[in-house]
């Protein structure tokens, strides 16, 4: 199963380069599951982080509340969730941006866990239904994934296939909730339901608030604060390489900017610092005219062609 996950990640490598939050979530879930030696004494064991409503409410155990989504009971559990995260995360992070996506994932994690806890407690208080939900143990990223599926489905009016059934994307999460429970009765039904409700609540709150949410503003502020010292140390790096870009666009329109030259072969305007054309590789001294010279030559050519047409047709 783990080689299958590795293959999926490698096949999406170029897309993941522009989606650091999705890549970070994949790496953190996988490292926590594998528990390498250098992290063995840092990462809590799964027995310490099981989501259990009774223990969370009795001991106010936030560790179980916040960390249980990052643990999985086996390789198939991890691979299934991470492949689902890979597909949903790359699409949402690409369309939303990394900061907005990180804010949304953090909000959905807390909301899905909180709604699941509220559902379990409500069953106990109002229906006296304590078992199995109040004392059951569960882990996994599924709740957040169901919430992401709701958000992703709301952005499109197309159809999708769930185990061979064609349904609207906005209803796919509900069908998947039922089918997964039928195929695997031992999974956390309320955990998945809490994720769906968290996604719906997030969309409702987002629809009533036109500005950025507080978590997004916090992440942006932290990013701006960290960018200043990182940028300072980056400028001090003696091995930092400077990049040189061509100055202009492809086309026949003359450019009057100072310090550029136009390639005769492809008409691309290059920086004056370059000795060869950045677009086609033509040598500057062998096949180049400055833009004002090329413009004069083009004007002369047009006038000559106009004169010849008049002579030919009278």
Q: How many domains does the chain have?
A: 1
> Would 279 be classed as within a structural domain?
no
> Would 240 be classed as within a structural domain?
no
Query: 129-144 burial by CB neighbour count: b if 16+ within 10 A, else e?
Result: eeeebeebbbbbbbbb
For residue 296, indicate whether it is catalytic: no
Confidence (pTM) = 0.65
Q: Which residue in the list 192, 212, 275, 295 is annotated as catalytic?
A: 192
For residue 212, indicate whether it is catalytic: no
Q: Which residue in the list 142, 171, 210, 291 is annotated as catalytic?
A: 142
> Would 203 be classed as within a structural domain?
yes
Q: Which domain range does residue 122 map to?
A: 1-214
Look at residue 214 in the predicted model and tell me its pLDDT: 55
The answer to whether residue 158 scores a pLDDT higher than 70 is yes
Higher pLDDT, 42 or 279: 42
Beta bridge partner(s), residue 95 = none
> Would 131 be classed as within a structural domain?
yes
CATH code of the domain containing 143: 1.20.1540.10
> Would 256 be classed as within a structural domain?
no
pLDDT in tens, 217-228: 555 666 666 555
pLDDT in tens, 239-265: 444 444 444 444 444 434 446 777 777
Look at residue 63 in the predicted model and tell me its pLDDT: 93
> Would 87 be classed as within a structural domain?
yes
The answer to whether residue 281 scores a pLDDT higher than 50 is yes
> Would 125 be classed as within a structural domain?
yes
CA 44/CA 64 separation, integer angstroms: 10
Look at residue 253 in the predicted model and tell me its pLDDT: 42
Give 186-190's long-range contacts (Cβ < 8 A, gap of 24+). 187/142, 188/51, 188/116, 188/136, 188/138, 188/140, 188/142, 188/143, 190/116, 190/119, 190/120, 190/133
> Would 311 be classed as within a structural domain?
no
Confidence of residue 104 (pLDDT cuts 50, 70, 90): very high
* Range 118-129 average pLDDT: 86
pLDDT in tens, 161-216: 777 778 888 888 998 899 888 888 778 899 999 999 999 999 988 877 655 555 66
């Amino acid at each position: 199963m783990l080689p299958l996950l590795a293959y999926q990640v490698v096949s999406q490598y170029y897309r993941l380069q522009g989606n650091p939050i999705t890549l970070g979530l994949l790496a953190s879930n996988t490292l926590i599951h594998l528990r390498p030696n250098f992290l063995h004494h840092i990462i809590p064991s799964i027995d310490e982080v099981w989501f259990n409503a009774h223990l969370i409410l009795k001991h106010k155990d936030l560790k179980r509340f916040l960390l249980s989504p990052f643990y999985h009971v086996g390789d198939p559990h991890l691979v299934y969730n991470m492949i689902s995260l890979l597909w949903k995360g790359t699409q949402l992070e690409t369309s939303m941006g990394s900061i907005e996506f990180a804010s949304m994932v953090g909000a959905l994690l807390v909301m899905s866990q909180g709604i699941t806890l509220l559902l379990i407690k409500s069953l106990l208080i109002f229906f006296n239904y304590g078992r199995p939900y109040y004392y059951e143990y569960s882990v996994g990223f599924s709740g957040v994934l169901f919430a992401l599926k709701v958000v992703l489905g709301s952005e499109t009016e197309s159809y999708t296939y769930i185990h061979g059934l064609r349904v609207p994307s906005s209803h796919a999460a509900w069908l998947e909730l039922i089918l997964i429970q039928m195929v695997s009765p031992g999974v956390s039904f309320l955990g998945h339901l809490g994720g769906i409700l968290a996604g719906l609540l997030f969309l409702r709150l987002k629809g009533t608030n036109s500005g950025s949410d507080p978590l997004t503003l916090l992440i942006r502020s932290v990013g701006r604060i960290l960018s200043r010292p990182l940028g300072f140390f980056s400028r001090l790096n003696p091995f930092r390489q400077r990049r040189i870009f061509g100055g202009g666009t492809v086309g026949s329109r003359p450019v009057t900017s100072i310090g550029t030259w136009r390639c005769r072969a492809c008409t691309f305007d290059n920086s004056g610092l370059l000795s060869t054309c950045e677009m086609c590789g033509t040598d500057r001294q062998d096949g180049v005219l400055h833009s004002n010279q090329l413009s004069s030559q083009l004007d002369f050519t047009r006038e000559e062609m106009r004169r010849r047409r008049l002579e030919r047709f009278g």
